[in-house]
Amino acid sequence: MKASQTPTSTKDRILDAAERLFAESGYDGVSLRQITREAGVELALANYHFGPKSELFLAVVQRRANELNRERMALFAALSTPPTLEGLIDAFARPFLEKSLHGGPGWKSYARLIAQISISPRWTERVMAAQFDEVAAHFINGVRGLWPACDVRELYWAFHFMLGAMIMTFAETGRIDLLSRGRCKSTRLDQVYARMLPFLAAGIERLAAQATPVASRRGKRA
C-alpha cells in the first residue's frame, strides 16, 4: 500500500501490539500501558492516535476484517454455478485458514481475538454483526440456492453450528492436544481443516434434507 522503507508507523506498531495482547488476555485483561510498552512507544500516543481504549480495540478488529471479507467475496464469486456445498463452506472458511497458516503471527492473534468476540454478547452487535453479517448473509443465500424448498431457519442454525466449530478450530486452544494426549495437534490447522469441511457439509446436508419436503428434493449427494 505505502511505498516507503520506514519499518512500521507508530499507528501500526500500536495496532500490532494491541492485537497480540488483546488476543492473549482479552479486552479487560490488557492495559494501554502494556500495549504501548510492547509497541515501544509512549503511553500518550495510544490516546492520540486512537482515542479511548474501546476505539483502539475496534480499530484492531476492523483492520483485518475488511481484508478477510474481500477475499471471501472473491471466492464466492469464483464458485461454479450452481456451487457445491463444500465449495461454499470453503469460500467462507479458507481465507481464515490461509491467513492463519501463512499470513504471519498477526493473523493467528486475530483468530483468537475473533473467537473471544464471537462468544461474548458484549461485542456481538457492535463488532460481529457490524463486520461480518453481510458476508454471512451471502453464505446463507448460497446454501439456500441448493435447497430452495428448505425453511431458511434451518440454514441459519446450520450456519450457527458451523461458526462454533470454526471458531473453536481457529482459536487453537490446545484442549484437544491434552485430551488426545498429543495424538491431535490444534496447531496443525491444515489437518483440522481437512476434517472440518466434510463434518460441516454432512451436518448442513442433514439439517437441510430433514426440513425439505420430499416432493421437492433434488437428488443431492456428496
- Residues in contact with a second copy by CB under 8 A are 24-29, 112, 115-116, 118-122, 124-125, 128-129, 133, 136-137, 140, 152-154, 156-169, 171-176, 178-180, 183-184, 192, 195-196, 198-207, 210, 222
Indicate the residue among 30 and 166 with the shorter CB distance to DNA.
30
33 binds, among DNA, a second copy, none (CB under 5 to 8 A by kind): DNA
- Residue 42 binding result from a second copy, DNA, none, given CB thresholds of 5 to 8 Å by partner type: DNA
d(CA 23, CA 173): 12
Instruction: Identify which of residues 53 and 94 has a Cβ nearer to DNA in the complex.
Output: 53
* CA–CA distances in Å: residue 114 to residues 15, 20, 52, 87, 202: 15, 12, 20, 23, 25
The C-alpha angle with vertex 208 and arms to 202 and 211, in degrees rounded to 5, equals 140
84: number of CA atoms within 13 Å, CB side?
Answer: 9
Task: Answer with the entry of a second copy, DNA, none that 147 interacts with (C-beta below 5 to 8 A by kind).
Answer: none
Rg (CA), the chain: 20
94, three cell numbers: 479458507
Query: Is the torsion defined by CA of 62, 63, 66, 67 positive or negative?
Result: negative
- Least distance in Å: CB of 25 to DNA? 10
Minimum distance from residue 55 beta carbon to DNA (Å):
8
Of the pair 36, 118, the CB lying nearest a second copy is at 118
